[in-house]
Amino acid sequence: MNYRVWWGLGLCLSGAAQAASCSLLIVGDSLSSGYGLEKGAGWVDQLNARLKKSAPAWQAVNASISGDTTQNGVQRLSAALLRQRPHGVVIELGGNDALRGTPPGLMRDNLRSMIRSAKQSGAWVVLLDAPVLPNYGKAYGDAVARLYVDLAREEKVSRVPCFICGVAANASLMQADGIHPNARAQPAMLDAVWPTLKPKLRCPGS
């Protein structure tokens, strides 16, 4: 590669850095990783498209992995924080814990650990409620729902109530497994999260 190409590449990288100087780390499971969807169709991809128009200094980095639990989140968050150095962190975990009947107390401890790690790194946090199927009864479901409310209050972080509940009741917005929203549901999922995210998109130095 000759000098002019290197120089041009440097300008492109510089421009990209200026265009997106603040990062938003999304740590979630299949609901955020785009499970069963074509590439670029997930709500996080649509979030990035909206950020380009509404908050161009920001870029969402999707660190979501299908099947992850809150324990998986604890295990990999520290490395992600060091690698990405995000200004904001969205935690969307707990659905797989609930499918397995994980004790709510353990879920709470794991989520609290993640919230505190993110805050200690200097990032603000948004916590997304996990959807809970009725497999383990109403008492279990109520306990899981309550832990998100309690954690958000205790840790003083923003919380988004079940962001797929608005689409989960509509079979036409769900994939064949009845668990994962389809491509048509993704805009509604983003719209459920956006009002909480938008006021936080103040990028230092931009």
Whether residue 4 lies inside any domain: the answer is: no
Among the listed residues 31, 11, 30, the one whose alpha carbon sits nearest the alpha carbon of residue 19: 11
Range of the domain at 195: 22-200
Domain of residue 72, CATH code: 3.40.50.1110
> What per-residue confidence (pLDDT) applies to 204?
81
Query: What is the rounded distance in angstroms from the CA atom of residue 132 to the CA atom of residue 169?
Result: 13
Tell me whether residue 10 is in a domain.
Answer: no
- Distance, in Å, from the CA atom of 34 to the CA atom of 64, rounded to the nearest integer, reads 9
pLDDT score recorded for residue 137: 95
* Confidence at residue 75, expressed as pLDDT on a 0 to 100 scale: 98
Sign of CA dihedral 66, 96, 157, 50: positive
Active site residues: 30, 177, 180
Let me know if residue 32 belongs to a domain.
yes
Residue 81 domain-assigned (yes or no): yes
Residue 106 lies in a domain: yes
Q: Is the pLDDT of residue 7 over 50?
A: no
Number of domains composing the chain: 1
205 is a domain residue? no
Q: How much of the chain, in percent, has pLDDT values that exceed 70?
A: 89
Q: For 112-165, write each residue's pLDDT tens digit.
A: 999 999 999 999 999 999 999 888 999 999 999 999 999 999 999 999 999 998
Residue 40 lies in a domain: yes
pTM recorded for the entire structure? 0.89
Estimate the share of the chain in helix, then strand, then coil, as percent rounded to the nearest 5. 55, 15, 30
**For range 89-96, the mean pLDDT:** 98
Quick one: pLDDT band at residue 88, thresholds 50, 70, 90?
very high
Whether residue 88 contacts residue 125, with contact meaning beta carbons closer than 8 Å, is answered with yes
State phi, psi for 5 to the nearest 5 degrees.
Answer: -65, -45
User: How many CA atoms lie less than 13 Å away from 24 in the CB half-sphere?
Assistant: 25
Residues 6+ apart with CB under 8 A from 206: 21, 22, 57
pLDDT for res 177 = 93
Q: Is residue 33 assigned to a domain? A: yes
Once rounded to an integer, what is the mean pLDDT over residues 163-171?
Answer: 92
DSSP secondary structure string for all residues of 107-174: HHHHHHHHHHHHHHTT-EEEEEPPP--GGGHHHHHHHHHHHHHHHHHHHT-EEE--TTHHHHT-GGGB
